[in-house]
Structures are given as structure tokens and as C-alpha cells.
Structure 1
Amino acid sequence: MSTPAPHLRNISVTDYLNGEEHSEIRHEYIDGQVYAMGGASRRHGLITNALAFMLTPKAREKKCQLLIADMKVRLSIGGKDIFYYPDLVLNCDPDDRETHYSRTPCLIIEVLSETTERIDRREKMLAYQTLPSLQEYVLVAQDYPQIEIYRRRADWLPEVHAEGAFIIECLDLTATVGEVYQDVESS
């Protein structure tokens, strides 16, 4: 995220959501301030696609919705409204079907980049942990094979996988690190 210009006024949630519908650039929203999102690299896209292809069959089986990149997650922390765009968000709550955002995801995945890693590891991780529905937060390295899984049931302590199998408990899915990076390795 970038820093907002100091002369900008706060905008309402309604104005933000209306603006996002018509904007060619995605923005995250934190308590009235809007931050433009940068574009993703080829590696980022390949990893995100691999994850989506792996998760989609199980998501459908469990009647969940898996959304990629353009679905916001809405949070309210200390009376402040926040909207983030995770790379992947899984929602299994049939009552959470807002058009432009999710309130009760059980899984959020972020593919790390040099410009977003610090925010994903600190700010977003702490914010997402305030969601009672969230069971797993997954960070996926872009430049080398590594998947970190943070689980509510394990007090958000990291489980790091550089090779072999890992489990996404929300979906009862076992996958391998190699599957996630297969397209990156072959390109």
C-alpha cells in the first residue's frame, strides 16, 4: 500500500464501495483513507492460479465460495472500517453473500511480494485474526517454495512447509508444495 496524500479528506464506506465499482485500479480502505493497489507479477499470478485450481473442487464440494483477488474482506476494528483485497478468500457461510465483500471468511491466502510482505505479515495478519470466522491464514512466498500456515486452533503460530505435503483444514484438503509451484518451476 502507498501513503495517502495529506490533503485528501476521509471518504465514507459508501463512497469507497461506489468508487471501486467504477475504478480500473483496486484500492484498499482503512478508516476513511484509500490506498491504491499495485499490479502482480507473472509468478504471483501463476501461484495464485495454482492455488485456486487446487482449492476449487473441495470448495464446491463443501458448498463454499472461493474468490480470487477482486473480492474484498470487510473488517471492523475499534469502530474503524477496513477493506482489504486478499489474493484468495474462502467463505463457507451461506449468510455472507454481499456483492462486493466478505465478512466471514474461514481461509485467507496472500501470495507475498517484496512490496506487500511486511504489510501481509504484520498489519493484515493482526487485522484478519480479529475475524471470529477465520480459521487459517496462509502466506505463500513468491520467489522460493515456502508456504506458511497460521491456524486459530494453534494460537496463530506458524507451520512452515518448504517441501512435501500440507493441509488446508477448512477444506480438509491435502496438497503439496510442489503442486503450488509447478507452473513457476516449469516457466
Structure 2
Amino acid sequence: MIATTERRYSLDEYRAIAETAKEKCEYHDGEIITMTGGTLNHSLVMGNIFSFLHFILRDTQFSVINSELRLWLPKHSCGVYADAMIFDGKPQLNGDRKDEALNPLLIVEVLSPSTEEYDRTDKFRMYRSIPSFCEYLLIRQNKVFVERYSKQENVWTYSDFDSLDQSILLESVNIELAIAEIYRDIDF
């Protein structure tokens, strides 16, 4: 991620820029952050997990959304992009906005060298301000390693998975996610 300038932007200015920008850009309380491009493995991992979740949850009340929909974090005055999100029902939109959601249950981030620390720390802290948010997956793209954070009774627990033979129980949507599905056709 790269800050575009040191100038501060109003939310309306950001939204006007974001609607016509060639690259995705996030909004962080007045600062516009341009998102960097991904790698082949990042794209493949995201395609695998999105396709699997979309297929397995297709006849349920859950909605699986890709990285095109911005997540608005009111407490932090931030608009960010997650790699994938799951909602209970249709996403609750931010007022009359059609491009900003408010209420994911589960968020997925595929880690990149340039964003890994941010995804683990500041972004995760901001995500925790979402009342509905209760499950977080961090997925390595350069080796088999998935981290899962799960909230139960306002306490976050951690588990990790490093074998293609393992599966993750996604408690928020009550499904098993095989690690092998995440890393299907990936060359390390």
C-alpha cells in the first residue's frame, strides 16, 4: 500500500476519486492509500477460497463477497478492502452507498509481504470494531499456513493450520474448509 500524497481528503472527495480510479484505494481518516497489485499465487488462493465458499454456501442465508466491495469502518472513518467477506444474509450497506458494506461475520485476507503486518495488527484491530465480525482467516500465499481467529463471548482465540490434510471448521457459517481446497493448483 502506498499513500498517494500528504494532503488530507474529505470523505466525499475520496468517494469521487474511488469511483473513477483505475486502482483500488482505501480511505484512512483523510488519507488515501493506493492498493498494490497482487501475485499469481495471491490471485489463485483468493479464487480458490472464494469459489469454494460461494459454492458451499450457495443455498444458505449467507452471502460471500469478493474484494470488490469496500468495507466501511465507522468507528475509524476508514473504507478498506478485504480479500473476501461472508455476511449473514445480504450485506448491510452504508446508508445509500452501493459500494460500502458494514456487517461481515467472517473476513479473509491473503497475506502479502507489503500488507502482512497491517493485516495482522491495525486492520485486524479496526475489523474488531464491527459488532457482527467473529471470524478472521489469514492465509499465506508462499507456503501452506492458515491462521484463524474466532470470537466467542467477546474473547478471541487463535489456531493455525499447516498441512494439506487438515480442515478448518468455520464456526460462523458451520462449514469445514479443507486446507487442500485453499491451495489447489498452487506452486510454491
TM-score scaled by length of structure 1: 0.90
Give the alignment of 1:1-187 within 5 angstroms.
1-6=1-6, 8=7, 10-77=8-75, 80-94=76-90, 96-97=92-93, 98-153=97-152, 155-163=155-163, 164-185=166-187
Structure 1 residue 110, shift from structure 2 partner: 0.2
Contact 1:90 1:105 in 2 (8 A): yes
Aligned identity (percent) is 24
Residues 61/170 of structure 1: CA separation in 2 closer, same or farther (3 Å cut): farther
Change (3 A) 1:58 1:178: closer
What is the alpha-carbon distance in structure 2 between the residues aligned to residue 94 and residue 182 of structure 1?
28
Compute the RMSD of aligned alpha carbons: 1.7
Q: Which has the higher helix share?
A: 1
**Which secondary structure state, in structure 1, belongs to the residue aligned with residue 85 of structure 2?**
strand
CA contact (8 A) 1:91 1:102 kept: no
CA contact (8 A) 1:71 1:89 kept: no
Indicate how the Cα distance of structure 1 residues 182 and 35 shifts in structure 2: closer, same or farther if over 3 A, else same.
same
- SS of 2:152's equivalent in the other structure is helix
* CA positional deviation for 1:93: 4.2
Inter-partner Cα distance in structure 1 for 2:57 and 2:123 = 24
Q: Distance in 1 between matches of 2:124 and 2:71?
A: 13
Consecutive unaligned residues of structure 1, counting only runs of 5 or more, are none
For residues 135 and 95 of structure 1, what CA distance do their matches in structure 2 show?
A: 15
Q: What's the CA shift for 1:141?
A: 0.6
Q: What is the one-letter code of the residue matched to 2:26?
A: E
Report deviation, 1:69. Answer: 1.4
Cα distance change on mapping 1:173 and 1:95 into 2, 3 Å? closer
